[in-house]
Each structure stands twice: as C-alpha cells, then as structure tokens.
C-alpha cells in the first residue's frame, strides 16, 4: 500500500480523538429535547456562522466543483457558485425559520395548513432523500478522495487491474491522435470499443488499495459517536473546529499545484482558452451558459426553502439576528472557498490533459493530493476532507433525527416524554447513518448524483416559499405539486431504465456528436452498445431518463438540436417551474385552510423573536390575542400576498450582502483574468 505516511496516520488519528472529545463535552447540553435537537435555542452569531459554513461547505462540493471544472472549464463553477445570488435573499429567509418557532420544517405544514399527513409525508420523504442522496453522496465523495490517496503499488496489481489501466492509457493515446487527425483508419474500431468500455466505467488510470466497506464503517462510526452523544450542541462545537480544517484543505493544493504546472505563467499557457471562459457556449467544453446558470439558480432558489437543515440551524439561534447573520456570513465563506476549489480544477486541466487525462474526473482531488502533497500535508488533507463531509452529514443527520422523533415517532406515541423523543432521535441517527453506508456502496458518479440532489426537494421548496408569502396556498395544491414533480423528476426517470421497451426505444437512445467527435446521449444519462466489443451491436439507454427533455420534445422543442448546455437548462427550468405553476393554479380552485389558522400563522411571522424566552412568550401571547396587530407593516393591506415593509436592519443587511456578493464575483473574475493574462 502506498500513499500515507506514519505522520499522516498520526494527524488523522488526532482529528478523530478531538471530534469524540467534543461530542463528550456536549452531552450535558443534550439532556432535553430542545437541548438535543436545537442546542437549547441559544447559539450566538459565531456558532451560527460555523454551523452554516460547515453545513454548506462539504468536501462533496469541493470534489464536484473541481471535477466539473476539470471537465468543462471554469464555467463549471456555476453549478454551485450560482448560489451566491441567494445570499442577499438569505438575509430575509432565515428569520422566517426562526420566527416560525417550530422544531422541524415538517411542522410548518401542520402549523400553516393544518395537515398532519403532509407533515408526516414531508418528514418521511426528506428522511429517505437525505439518507439516499445527501448523506450517501457525502460518503461517496469521502471515499472517492480517500481511495485516490491510498493506492496499490503497480507490482501488486491483479491481471484484470493491469489490463484496465493499460486499456485506459491506450484510449487516451488514441483520443489524442484522433483529435489531431492522425489516428489510422484501422484503429477506429478499437477506439470505439474502448470508448464504450469507458462509458461503462470499466477503465481506470490507477488502482486503489482502500476497500469501500471498511472505510464507510469507520467513517460512519466516528460521526455517529459525537452526534449521538451531544446532538446539535456537539455538531456546533465540532463545526467550529472542522471549519478551520475546511479552509486548510481548500487552499493546501494550490501552491503545490501551481508549482507542478510550472508557475503562474506556465499555468495560463497550458490551459485552453475555452477553459478560462466564465460563461460557456454550451456546444463545446462547457454546458454552463447564461441560460443554464439562470435555470440552475431558479431550481436552487425553490429547493433552498425545503432543506431540512434550515429549521434545525436557524431555530438553534438565540435570536433572529444571529440566525440571519450566521446564514449569510457562513454561506459567503462557502462561496470564497468555492473559488479555491474551482482553481484546483483549472490546475488539474493543466496537469492531466491529453494522454495524462484521468479516467474518472471525480478522482481529480484525490489524485492531485496524492501526487502533490508530502507526508503530514497529505494527512492534513485527509483530515480536512473527512472534517468537511462529517460536518455536513452531522447537520443533515440531526435534521433527520428531529423529523423522525417529532413528526413520525410522536405520531404513534402522542404522549411520549421529552426523554423518549431524545432516545428516539438517537436511535434514528444510528439507523440513518448505517443506511447511508449501504446506499453509498450503490452510487458511482458524483456529477449525476449532484444534479439529482439539486432538484429532488424543489416541489416542497416551492410550496414552503408560497406558504410563507401567499395566504391562498391549499393542502390539495401542495399534494398536486409533489405528485406531479415526483412523477417527472423521480419515479419515471429512475424506473424507466428497468424496462427494455424504453431503454431500447429508438427515439430515446439517440446520440449526437460533440465538438471532439464523441457520441453524447440526449435523453438517457448514457447510451452504450449492448456488446462493447461489437461496434454494430444494438444501443441501449442506461441510468436516468431525462423525462423533462421528453416533455419538451413532446411540446415541439427541438431537443436534439439544442447544445448540451441548452438541454441541461431545459431540464432545470422544467423541474423548477412545474411545481410552482401547479401550486398556483390548484390553489385557486381548491378549498383554503381556515382563516383563523392562516391569521395566527402570519401574525406569528410578523412578531419579532424576543431577546429572552420570557419576552418572546409575552410577545406571542399578545399576537395570539390579536394576530393582526402588525398588519400595518404589510405593503398591500387587503392583498393575499404577505409582503412587509423593510426596516433599517433589513435594508442595511440586504445592501451589504449585495455589495459582498458583487465583490466575491469580482474576485472570481480577477482570479480567472490573472491566470489567462
């Protein structure tokens, strides 16, 4: 086994010890339900910053950003970086989750609409999606990086492993000759076969010595140990420590990478011009055109409201200013480190192109770490990656734990004590972490999972956004949006691949040719030959069927004629707008919730959180007696839209957030311009 030095193991072991100690320190804070799930609602601005930074800045984001930039150039940064436009909006959004004064996001459906069934369904759906997508995704990325750090020496390769690496190297050589127009005609059949095998994931440019199951088990036991002991308080303590490691792992590769590329001047010369375009054309290297960024942002805006961590993090704040400050500052921190991740992707293009290109783009981060970092630094990178993903998974696991205990377990045991709920929450953590391990072993492609994760909660997000600002939202409308979106975005796309009549349908297994002459699937995630050794064997679709594109084609859009960026934009536009439209239309023709319930909800949403629990209780008592006492703050008094006038804190915070947003985007432009100059 090669890759890690004794010093690296010492650093990694030290990290695990610190995390367990932090969990032990927080045990006293987790004796009650509010203490375990929400850290007693007393976390200030500093802890809120680290909670939001750690929750948003996962190693999975680093890997996916570097991987996408490596494949598509700097414009690939926008798949995550477009969220910077949400930061000024967070200044208003996060106080909603503090003012609602609930424990879980699912509670909002019961409090606002009076629907226990919707609350339970949201809780169950979110638990499944959080485990199957978010948490398993984090596990997968941690393993992807770690497996690239711990590799087999060449003399210990098996014959099959040796052949896989040799075939990949031959593929890269033939691809290079093909681009130059120097590939002999008799070799084109072999190139086609190797491309098919590459599409199946059968080729590799290195062999890992790290087995997935032992890694997942040790990794998960560590996360479970500190959050089961200390709950949200332990998560907050750990985030403060892990936040420092996240910054370290985000920048540690850059000096070594620039040096390996030959310095700043050589780095710019080794990068193709298209790789340095912030906005791609959609036809060549990059899928991220202006339209793509707008579509992804719209889907992200909708989904942002349904993230389960919103409630657990915001509600743990001692007041709404701490909640909004932590959300905005923590996510600004994430935007800054995103630039460093993208820069690592550019370095990877310079180092691993042509015959040196990587077989799996998801291995960029791990491969660079293994080749560029020495003893000690490699261990620090390993610890930083683990810390980054642990912080995100811990926050998600706490949200899932609260959802199960409050919205499912308590439904079966309405008289459960506080102690019972904490016990149920702890056992939930154990179960979901173990299930996350099992699901992780079934995932393979980071980019594909990332796209799925960005849209899975959009219907609930659209519902929650409208529930916060529009009095007319109905239970039937939310059910309609959830059912319609699930059919288009989850059920049909994921089940279609199991029906041969669909996977072999000629109109769905279409492939177009990209600018480098490679076949690119249109409707399926991948389209391959049933027999990779036979160039004339039938084509078959594999992976996700992009039902959104099938719909667009059905209404007359020339999907095949769109660029790859145009097709990606089309998918996100459908996913974002469909549930929003379904809720608006259905709400106008179905029965509204009771007026008294709606009045009480919006009265509460206009009541600022008191500085102490006693003051807050007194303010809420006054609102319960007169839910309209703050209606003078509405922009349109008689409208069903609940928009309120901004106060001084709203205005200053929003303007400062806008200035910082523009400043960070400007920093990205300066970095790219400096490299290309």
For 446, list phi and psi in degrees, rounded to 5.
-65, -45
Q: How confident is the model at residue 1 (pLDDT cuts 50, 70, 90)?
A: very low
Number of domains in the chain: 3
Burial of 646 (0-12, 13-18, 19+ CB in 10 A): middle
Helices 212-251 and 418-440 pack at an angle, to 10 degrees, of 100
Domain stops at, among 426, 456, 486 = 456
Task: Tell me, yes or no, whether 98 lies in a domain.
Answer: yes
Contact 370, 148 (CB under 8 A): yes
**In 3-state terms, what secondary structure has residue 318?**
coil
* % of the chain exceeding 70 in pLDDT: 88
Q: What is the pLDDT of residues 270-312, one digit of tens each?
A: 998 888 888 865 555 556 677 888 888 898 899 889 887 788 8
The average pLDDT across 555-570 equals 89
Q: Is the pLDDT of residue 316 over 80?
A: yes
Domain-embedded: residue 20: no
Determine what percent of the chain falls in helix, strand and coil, rounding each to the nearest 5: 75, 5, 25
Q: Is 32 strand, coil or helix?
A: coil
Structure tokens at 598: 């709606």
How far, in Å, CA of 507 to CA of 118, rounded? Answer: 38
Domain boundary among 564, 580, 598: 564
Residue 65 included in any domain: yes
265 shares its domain with 380: yes
CA 257 → CA 248, 254, 277, 365, 400, distances in Å? Answer: 15, 5, 21, 11, 39
**The pLDDT of residue 368 is above 70:** yes
Stated as kind and residue range, the H or E segment containing 526 is strand 524-529
> What is the model's pTM?
0.78
539-545/524-529 β-pairing: antiparallel
Domain match, 145 and 157 both: no
- The DSSP secondary-structure symbol of 592 reads P
Asked if pLDDT for residue 168 goes beyond 90, the answer is: no
What is the residue-averaged pLDDT of the chain? 84
Indicate the pLDDT class of residue 39, thresholds 50, 70 and 90: low
111 or 54: which carries more pLDDT confidence? 111
d(CA 585, CA 568): 26
CA angle 103-109-110, nearest 5°? 80
Same structural domain, 294 and 311: yes
Tokens representing 422 are 């904490």
The arithmetic mean of pLDDT across residues 643-657, rounded, is 95
Collapse the DSSP code of 644 into the 3-class scheme (helix H, G, I; strand E, B; otherwise coil) and give the result: strand
* 199 and 336 inside one domain: no
- Helix ranges (DSSP H) in 102-202: 106-113, 116-129, 136-149, 159-180, 188-199
Rounded CA separation 450/472 (Å): 33
Spatial neighbors of 67 by CB under 8 A, at least 6 apart, are 345, 361, 362, 364, 365, 446, 447
Residues 387 and 524 in one domain: no
User: Can you say whether the dihedral through the CA atoms of 231, 234, 236, 242 is positive or negative?
Assistant: negative
Are residues 433 and 366 part of one domain? Answer: yes
Burial letters 214-252, b for 16+ CB under 10 A, else e: ebbeebbebbbbbbbbbbbbbbbbbbbbbbebbbebbeb
Residue with tokens 């200035």: 659
Q: How many CB atoms lie within 10 A of CB 448?
A: 14
Instruction: Give percent of the chain with pLDDT exceeding 90.
Output: 34
pLDDT for res 229: 62
Q: Is the pLDDT of residue 542 over 90?
A: no
pLDDT exceeds cutoff 80 at 588: yes
Q: Are residues 132 and 158 in the same domain?
A: no
Mean pLDDT value of segment 108-137: 86
- For residues 290 and 170, membership in a common domain is answered with no
Supply the range of the domain harboring residue 247. Answer: 31-150+212-456
In a domain, 516, yes or no: yes
Closest C-alpha among 613, 571, 130 to residue 393: 130
Residues 95 and 200 in one domain: no
* 551 in any annotated domain: yes
| CATH number of residue 291's parent domain | 1.20.1730.10
Q: Are residues 194 and 272 in the same domain?
A: no
Q: Which pLDDT value is given to residue 581?
A: 95
Task: Find the DSSP H helices in 318-474.
Answer: 320-351, 364-372, 377-403, 410-412, 418-440, 446-453, 458-469
Which one is predicted more confidently, 677 or 266?
266
In a shared domain, residues 197 and 307: no
- 579: which 2 tokens? 């549930």
**Domain check: are 337 and 233 in the same one?**
yes
pLDDT at 254: 93
What pLDDT does residue 644 have? 93
Instruction: Give Cβ neighbours of residue 453 (< 8 Å, ≥ 6 apart).
Output: 133, 134, 137
The whole-angstrom separation of Cα 577 and Cα 295 is 10
Element (H, E) at 169: helix 159-180
- Asked if the structure places residue 627 within a domain, the reply is no
What residues does 529 pair with on adjacent strands?
Answer: 539
278 found inside a domain: yes
Question: Which of 514, 541, 564 lies at the terminal end of a domain, its last residue?
Answer: 564
Query: What are the φ and ψ backbone dihedral angles of 317, each rounded to 5 degrees?
Result: -75, 145
């Amino acid at each position: 086994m090669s890759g890690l030095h004794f010093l690296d193991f010492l650093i990694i072991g030290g990290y695990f010890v610190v995390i367990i100690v932090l969990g032990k320190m927080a045990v006293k804070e987790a004796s009650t339900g509010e203490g375990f799930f929400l850290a007693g609602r007393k976390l200030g601005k500093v802890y809120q910053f680290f909670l939001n930074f750690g929750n948003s800045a996962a190693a999975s984001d680093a890997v996916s950003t570097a991987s996408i930039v490596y494949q598509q150039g700097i414009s690939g940064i926008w798949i995550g970086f477009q969220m910077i436009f949400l930061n000024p909006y967070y200044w208003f959004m996060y106080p909603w989750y503090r003012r609602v004064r609930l424990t879980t996001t699912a509670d909002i459906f019961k409090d606002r609409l009076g629907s226990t069934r919707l609350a339970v369904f949201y809780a169950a759906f979110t638990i499944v999606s959080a485990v199957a997508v978010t948490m398993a995704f984090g596990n997968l990325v941690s393993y992807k990086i770690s497996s690239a750090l711990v590799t087999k020496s060449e003399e210990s390769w098996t014959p099959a492993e040796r052949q896989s690496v040799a075939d990949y190297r031959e593929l890269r050589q033939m691809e290079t000759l093909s681009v130059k127009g120097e590939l002999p005609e008799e070799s084109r059949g072999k190139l086609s076969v190797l491309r098919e095998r590459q599409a199946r994931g059968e080729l590799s440019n290195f062999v890992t010595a790290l087995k997935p199951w032992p890694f997942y088990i040790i990794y998960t036991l560590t996360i479970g140990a500190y959050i089961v002991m200390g709950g949200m308080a332990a998560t907050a303590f750990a985030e403060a420590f892990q936040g420092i490691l996240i910054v370290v792992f985000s920048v540690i590769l850059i000096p070594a990478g620039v040096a390996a590329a030959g310095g700043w001047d050589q780095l710019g010369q080794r990068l193709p011009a298209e790789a340095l375009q912030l906005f791609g054309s959609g036809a060549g290297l990059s899928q991220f055109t202006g339209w793509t960024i707008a579509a992804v942002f719209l889907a992200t805006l909708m989904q942002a409201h349904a993230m389960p961590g919103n409630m657990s993090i915001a509600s743990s704040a001692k007041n709404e200013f701490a909640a909004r400050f932590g959300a905005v500052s923590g996510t600004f921190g994430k935007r800054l480190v995103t630039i460093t991740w993208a820069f690592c992707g550019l370095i990877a293009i310079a180092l691993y192109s042509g015959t040196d290109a990587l077989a799996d783009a998801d291995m960029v981060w791990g491969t660079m770490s293994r080749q560029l970092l020495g003893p000690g630094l490699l261990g620090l990178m390993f610890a930083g990656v683990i810390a980054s993903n642990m912080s995100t998974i811990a926050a998600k696991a706490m949200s899932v734990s609260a959802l199960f205990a409050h919205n499912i377990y308590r439904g079966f045991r309405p008289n459960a004590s506080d102690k019972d709920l904490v016990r149920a929450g702890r056992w939930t953590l154990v179960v979901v972490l173990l299930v996350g391990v099992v699901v992780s072993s079934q995932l393979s492609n980071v980019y594909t999972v990332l796209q799925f994760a960005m849209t899975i909660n959009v219907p609930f997000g659209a519902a929650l956004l409208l529930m916060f600002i529009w009095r007319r939202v109905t239970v039937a409308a939310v059910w309609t949006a959830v059912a319609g979106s699930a059919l288009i975005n989850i059920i049909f796309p994921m089940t279609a691949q199991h029906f041969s009549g669909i996977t072999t349908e000629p109109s769905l297994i279409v492939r177009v040719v990209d600018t480098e002459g490679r076949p690119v699937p249109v409707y399926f995630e991948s389209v391959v030959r049933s027999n990779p050794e036979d160039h004339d064997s039938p084509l078959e679709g594999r992976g996700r069927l992009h039902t959104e594109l099938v719909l667009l084609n059905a209404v007359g859009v020339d999907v095949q004629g769109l660029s790859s960026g145009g097709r990606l934009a089309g998918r996100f536009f459908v996913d974002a707008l469909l549930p929003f439209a379904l809720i608006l239309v259905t709400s106008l023709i179905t029965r509204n919730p009771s007026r008294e319930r709606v009045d009480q909800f919006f009265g509460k949403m206009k009541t600022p959180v008191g500085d102490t629990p006693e003051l807050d209780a007194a303010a809420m008592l006054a609102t319960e007696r007169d839910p309209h006492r703050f209606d003078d703050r509405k922009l349109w008094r008689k409208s069903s839209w609940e928009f309120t006038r901004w106060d001084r804190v709203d205005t200053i915070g929003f303007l400062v957030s806008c200035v910082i947003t523009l400043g960070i985007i400007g920093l990205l432009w300066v970095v790219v311009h400096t490299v290309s100059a």
